[in-house]
Amino acid sequence: MSDFQKEKNLVRRFHAELDRENSDPARTLARHCCEGFIWRGYHPFGEQDAQGVAERFWRPLRYALGAMQRRLDIFFAGSNEIDDHRSVWVVSMGHLMGLFDHSWLGIRPTGKLVMLRFCEFDRVTEEGIAESAMFFDIPHLMVQAGQNPFPPQTGAQLVQPGPATHDGLLYEPCPPIQGKTTLSLINEMITDIGRWQGRLSLEDELRRCWSKRMIWWGPTGIGATYTIERYAKQHAGPFRAGFSERSRTVHRARLAEGHYGGFFGWPNFTVRPAGGFMGMPASDERVEFRVIDIYRREGDRLVENWVFIDLLHLWHLQGIDLPSPIDPRLPNDG
């Protein structure tokens, strides 16, 4: 069984070259990515090829955020349960930090240090990186620049830290049994959402898989919340009340290593807006959620969860283009 070190080292080399101040993003992607590479990003970027992501995302962002550096909090790899463990993915999460000296996507520069939180999934093959998903919390950057696009949120607005245990950078191999245990608990939690909804109280449902002192690090527009009771009150309860007819959850990748695991979908699920959530109106049209979730397990409970939701895409599907950083030169992501 692979210990995923080859795949991890390839992604680390890719990031190191991409992050060098004078590197050319297009050449870096060409060197490390396979022919037919596809990148899936937060609205308004959507799906891009290597040239597109270099020219539309990396070049403008690096120009806007001077002296940019990658600050990782979590790094792990694993085989993808969704395709019966045939593919290997490498996951990295943290912040892109820099001096916000030039406008990016219409967001006004501050001339100060800012942090753009992100999470990236890279599928690695013998030929290189074949596909990536990279979600970054654009509204989080907007808030730092004084341009909050959303109504008041139910959770706390923070620059989010990494794991409380400070052990999220899994550069060395981990015992396989740890990852299997983590993935099994994540799957049990996903199953509980459909199995127990309406049969148990929300708090009792959450207690099956979550620590009573769970931390849910949600995206800007929703915010972070702490303990099962506050999570139920400040996010899970309002979310369930704001949407109905949730579809089955579908992921493109779901994996774990050590005490860390996660997944992403494109989309993960669809729902019908019942109205009220984040100020959104009710609608007869279904909307889709594109989500990345990263988890930390402690014993037999999930204790931390970092969540990336493409809220700009969600609102765009509602026909609501917020006073937001949509660049008219970029294509809609559909």
Q: Does one domain contain both 184 and 75?
A: no
| C-alpha–C-alpha distance, residues 199 and 283, integer Å | 27
18 and 124 housed in the same domain: yes
**CATH number of 100's domain:** 3.10.450.50
Contact 169, 72 (CB under 8 A): yes
Residue 243 belongs to a domain: yes
Whose tokens are 């009792």? That residue is: 204
pLDDT of residue 195: 77
Specify whether 299 is located in the same domain as 198.
Answer: yes
- In this structure, the answer to whether residues 42 and 88 fall within a common structural domain is yes
Backbone dihedral angles phi then psi of residue 49, each to the nearest 5 degrees? -90, -175
Same domain, yes or no: 198 and 131: no
pLDDT exceeds 60 at position 282: yes
Q: What is the mean pLDDT of the chain?
A: 93
- Partners of 133 in the β-ladder: 40, 121
**Distance set, CA 10 to CA 29, 87, 90, 174, 238 (Å):** 12, 15, 10, 18, 42
Mean pLDDT over 313-331 rounds to 64
Compute the distance between CA of residue 153 and CA of residue 325 in angstroms, rounded to an integer: 19
Query: Same structural domain for residues 188 and 124?
Result: no
In a domain, 95, yes or no: yes
Where a domain ends, among 126, 144, 162?
144
- Provide the pLDDT for residue 333: 41
Element (H, E) at 242: helix 237-242
pTM: 0.94
Let me know whether 292 and 206 are in one domain: yes
The answer to whether residues 218 and 310 belong to one domain is yes
Of 96, 123, 144, the residue at which a domain comes to its end is: 144
In a domain, 171, yes or no: no
The verdict on residue 163 lying in a domain is no
Q: Note whether residue 212 is domain-resident.
A: yes
Q: Find the distance separating the first CA and the last CA of the chain, reported in whole Å.
A: 39
**187: exposed, middle or buried (Cβ count in 10 Å: 0-12, 13-18, 19+):** middle
Position 124 in a domain: yes
Other beta carbons less than 10 A from residue 331's beta carbon? 12
Cα 135 from Cα 45, distance rounded (Å): 10
**Sheet order of strands, 260-264 included:** 224-226, 210-217, 301-309, 291-298, 260-264, 253-257
Q: Are residues 72 and 135 in the same domain?
A: yes
Give the pLDDT confidence of 68-115 residue by residue, as tens digits: 999 999 999 999 999 999 999 999 999 999 999 999 998 999 999 999
Tell whether 240 and 193 lie within a shared domain: yes
Provide the residue range defining the domain that includes 66: 5-144
Do 113 and 209 lie in a common domain?
no
Least confident of 6-20, 217-231, 237-251: 237-251
Tell whether 150 is covered by a domain.
Answer: no
Same domain assignment for residues 123 and 218:
no
Q: CB under 8 Å to 68, separation ≥6 — which residues?
A: 19, 61, 62, 96, 97, 98
pLDDT of amino acid 67: 96
What's the total number of domains in the chain? 2
What does the pLDDT average to over 107-134? 97
Segment among 187-201, 211-225, 256-270 with least mean pLDDT: 187-201
Domain membership flag for residue 90? yes
